[in-house]
Structure 1
Amino acid sequence: MGFSGGCSCRAVRYNIDAEPVRGFQCQCRDCQMDSGGGHSSVFVFPRNALTVSGEVREIARTSDRGATKRKGFCPICGVAIYNKPDEKPEFIGIYVGSLDDATTFRPAAIFYAARGYAWDFLDPDVPKLPEWHAS
């Protein structure tokens, strides 16, 4: 099974020739800003399975844990495409909203739940961790 996606203006397109390693939702401040909402939904894939066409602009940010991560987004329409952690170069987090078909997404956990907002209703059956859990 493969995955494809891109931005809303279609200047950036990608394909992933792998199954996801895991899926999660995150309520950290960066993810809130990336999504424009209360959380981001992310599928993690092997980085070498991703091929991208079009220009992706990246910004580097320091996470709350002190790690550097690079957010990739379309420089034309601004849609967030991915998040690359420098400390784990074998993985890439794909923002589920950029997928052409996100029906298979099932989060295994919600990270930084202590920073979530009461109005951001997430599945109560998904385990909530107050901060980050790296496993």
Structure 2
Amino acid sequence: MRSSMSLRVAKCRCGELRAECYGEPQRVSVCHCLECQRRTGSAFAVQARYAKTDVEIEGSSRLYERTGDSGMWARYHFCPDCGSTVYYENEDTPGVYAIPVGAFADPNFPAPQRSIYEIRMHLWTDVKGDAIHRER
């Protein structure tokens, strides 16, 4: 079955930690929360969600866990060598991995459908898309 599905590979900067993602993402979103800004070192984060059953992880990772505004945990898996986050899990979406879109290094990656935490969005940021659902 997977042989007929598209394959996208996300990896860390040094290439030691990889996530092979089969099929299309369930959702692509932009998050403007302060924690995503700190994690990425940018003004926002863009991530694709895949069912865990559609992702194969290769390589070792270290884990960082934090509690979000909702009181639920988020677990970030990053390369112990170069420090890049390659995938993470959120307590409120069991069975799903979120993969930072930049880890795919693919300018043709599907556009986001959601923009969340816009209350924290930098004033100069303008997220565009045909069907973006906006959440403050």
* Range into which the TM-score falls when normalised by the shorter chain: 0.7 to 0.9
Measure how far apart 1:15 and its partner are.
0.6
User: Match of 2:52?
Assistant: 47
1:87-102 to structure 2, matched below 5 A, reads 87-102=92-107
Distance 1:89 1:28 in 2: 21
What RMSD, in angstroms, separates the aligned Cα atoms of the two structures? Answer: 1.6
Distance 1:114 1:12 in 2: 33
Distance 2:109 2:13 in 1: 20
Distance 1:13 1:91 in 2: 16
Q: Single out whichever of 100-109 and 22-31 deviates more from structure 2.
A: 100-109
- Kindly indicate whether residue 75 of structure 2 is the aligned counterpart of residue 65 of structure 1: no
AA partner of residue 31 (structure 1): C
Measure how far apart 1:124 and its partner are.
7.1
Count of aligned pairs between the two proteins:
130
Aligned residue among 106, 125, 129 for 2:135: 129
Seq. identity, %: 26
- Kindly indicate whether residue 96 of structure 2 is the aligned counterpart of residue 84 of structure 1: no
Distance 1:95 1:2 in 2: 16
Distance 2:99 2:134 in 1: 20
AA partner of residue 36 (structure 1): G
Measure how far apart 1:43 and its partner are.
0.5
Distance 1:29 1:110 in 2: 14
Q: Name structure 1 gaps, 5 residues minimum.
A: 131-135
1:12-51 to structure 2, matched below 5 A, reads 12-51=17-56
TM-score by length of 1: 0.87
Distance 1:75 1:91 in 2: 22
Distance 2:129 2:106 in 1: 24
Distance 1:87 1:21 in 2: 15
TM-score by length of 2: 0.87
